[in-house]
Chains A and B, each alone.
Chain A
């Protein structure tokens, strides 16, 4: 018998289910006051440096129906491209936001600062982007994706460069609808399916 490897296997994911908000967004679930302070209410505090932006969108299933029960987490760098915890990072940017599809319309809104470009391993630059993690009933493993911006230079981003079918790059790019306003829809399946990541 060969030597034993001292490694464990990651715990299997299970769906967050329809009631994920009870645990992660109690106020949204109708349980305001469950915690004195909820996690990820805003990714920025008063005084955050940079351009304040609003990203609006929906998460659509394979039939074109907007999910009413999706919960999304976003994680991002500050306006200078520094992630929270890094030297010189903006103390007013916590970087994490939790937001949910509206229970009636299915639309979500993320209000944050526009992140700066960040460094890539071994040199190079990642274009400004926000990482998303989407969970809901029927999603067995949380889906990772990214929001890039149509008014930024995305030409040398290492992730976007890896997408073989070039029209699919558009699924990761938020469209500017007004100054400081963007639209970013997520399609779980079928025509225009969003590029989901395994990183």
Chain B
């Protein structure tokens, strides 16, 4: 039985509310009126596909990709790896995973970041890859630094890597962040704390994975990502063209 029915409705309790006053920018950017909930249609059940021709050889190696392999970035070398699964626990193969992050000093290579930690001339801060047949992906990168941000008087972002995933349908689209096990800034961060259920926040914290680290080279952190699933088709109306 294939999962080609409508998308499983999004479990909004797993997600942050739109409005969280401790994250000040959300106050004027959160809808007041309820979302319109409907069963998915072709518009949400279809989605873009990406070929391997898109992905360059160094795209998933943030230590080397900015300099095209000429010189490595500064910082603690880490492997970020995991699987993309759906709510039914099935792997999501051949889907695009994109990441971006600050450098080891907590500075982003973006025209609008003016934090005085210096840019690393050898670090760009973005990477991308496609999951394999079992939903696995991996990136070689450096551990990003924590950094201060203008919110309350003295707020700091914990070390984190932004993660964007497509899945196979536009309705599965997700952007989230990976945090690092043991970071004392996580429980102090108003953005991490937009997630009200501790179990759901813990799901975004990658454990140190010594079994996947490489001696004398890099540590590893494991980060699995779960996307919305789809209902199974036995009793579903057939959607024309699918």
- Residue-wise interface mask of B (10-41) relative to A, using a CB-CB cutoff of 8 A (1 in contact, 0 not): 11101111101001111111111101111111
Question: Do A34 and B162 have beta carbons less than 8 Å apart?
Answer: no
Interface of A is mostly: loop
Question: Do A12 and B42 have beta carbons less than 8 Å apart?
Answer: no
If A12-B176, A24-B164 touch, whether A126 touches B43 (CB-CB below 8 Å) is yes
If A9-B203, A198-B35 touch, whether A23 touches B110 (CB-CB below 8 Å) is no
B239 contacts partner chain A, Cβ-Cβ < 8 Å: yes
Whole-angstrom CA separation of A69 from B110 in the bound complex: 12
Whole-angstrom CA separation of A190 from B31 in the bound complex: 8
Q: Which residues of B contact A121 (CB under 8 A)?
A: 6, 39, 41, 237, 239
Question: Do A189 and B100 have beta carbons less than 8 Å apart?
Answer: no
Whole-angstrom CA separation of A158 from B192 in the bound complex: 37
In-complex Cβ contact of A84 among B17, B46, B96, B162 (8 A)? B46
Q: Which residues of A contact B204 (CB under 8 A)?
A: 11-12, 14
- Residue-wise interface mask of A (1-35) relative to B, using a CB-CB cutoff of 8 A (1 in contact, 0 not): 00000111111111111111111101001110011
B241 contacts partner chain A, Cβ-Cβ < 8 Å: yes
Closest to B200 in A: A12
Whole-angstrom CA separation of A40 from B201 in the bound complex: 30
A197 contacts partner chain B, Cβ-Cβ < 8 Å: yes
Question: Do B23 and A8 have beta carbons less than 8 Å apart?
Answer: no
B217 contacts partner chain A, Cβ-Cβ < 8 Å: no
Whole-angstrom CA separation of A39 from B54 in the bound complex: 8
Question: Do B128 and A35 have beta carbons less than 8 Å apart?
Answer: yes
Q: Which residues of A contact B241 (CB under 8 A)?
A: 82-83, 86-87, 119
Q: Which residues of A contact B20 (CB under 8 A)?
A: 140
Question: Do B43 and A131 have beta carbons less than 8 Å apart?
Answer: yes
Which of A48-56, A106-114, A141-149, A176-184 binds B? Answer: A141-149
Question: Do A197 and B36 have beta carbons less than 8 Å apart?
Answer: yes
Question: Do B88 and A23 have beta carbons less than 8 Å apart?
Answer: no
Question: Do B15 and A12 have beta carbons less than 8 Å apart?
Answer: yes
Question: Do A199 and B54 have beta carbons less than 8 Å apart?
Answer: no
Name the residue among A14, A82, A196 with the largest chain B CB count within 10 angstroms.
Answer: A14
Give min CB distance, B2 to chain A, whole Å: 15
| B-side interface residues, number (CB < 8 Å) | 89
If A14-B175, A19-B112 touch, whether A199 touches B44 (CB-CB below 8 Å) is yes
Q: Which residues of B contact A163 (CB under 8 A)?
A: 36
Q: Which residues of A contact B9 (CB under 8 A)?
A: 198
Interface of B is mostly: loop
Name the residue among A67, A140, A195 with the largest chain B CB count within 10 angstroms.
Answer: A140
Question: Do B239 and A119 have beta carbons less than 8 Å apart?
Answer: yes
Closest to B111 in A: A30
Q: Which residues of A contact B128 (CB under 8 A)?
A: 23, 35, 39
Give min CB distance, B209 to chain A, whole Å: 18
Question: Do A193 and B174 have beta carbons less than 8 Å apart?
Answer: no
- Residue-wise interface mask of B (179-205) relative to A, using a CB-CB cutoff of 8 A (1 in contact, 0 not): 000000000000110110000110110
Whole-angstrom CA separation of A142 from B228 in the bound complex: 14
In-complex Cβ contact of A6 among B12, B89, B201, B228 (8 A)? B89
In-complex Cβ contact of A8 among B44, B46, B88, B162 (8 A)? B88
B214 contacts partner chain A, Cβ-Cβ < 8 Å: no
Question: Do B12 and A73 have beta carbons less than 8 Å apart?
Answer: no
If A9-B203, A119-B241, A140-B20 touch, whether A199 touches B175 (CB-CB below 8 Å) is no
Question: Do A23 and B162 have beta carbons less than 8 Å apart?
Answer: yes
Closest to A139 in B: B29
Give min CB distance, B150 to chain A, whole Å: 10
Question: Do A189 and B32 have beta carbons less than 8 Å apart?
Answer: yes
User: Which residues, 32 to 64 on B, are CB-close (under 8 Å) to A?
Assistant: 32-33, 35-44, 46-50, 54, 56, 59
- Residue-wise interface mask of B (199-242) relative to A, using a CB-CB cutoff of 8 A (1 in contact, 0 not): 01101100000000000000000000111110000000101111
Whole-angstrom CA separation of A118 from B58 in the bound complex: 39
B99 contacts partner chain A, Cβ-Cβ < 8 Å: yes
Q: Which residues of A contact B49 (CB under 8 A)?
A: 84-85
A16-B162, A129-B43 known; 10 new pairs, CB 8 Å cut-off, are A7-B87, A8-B85, A10-B10, A11-B176, A39-B50, A62-B29, A65-B28, A83-B42, A193-B33, A196-B35
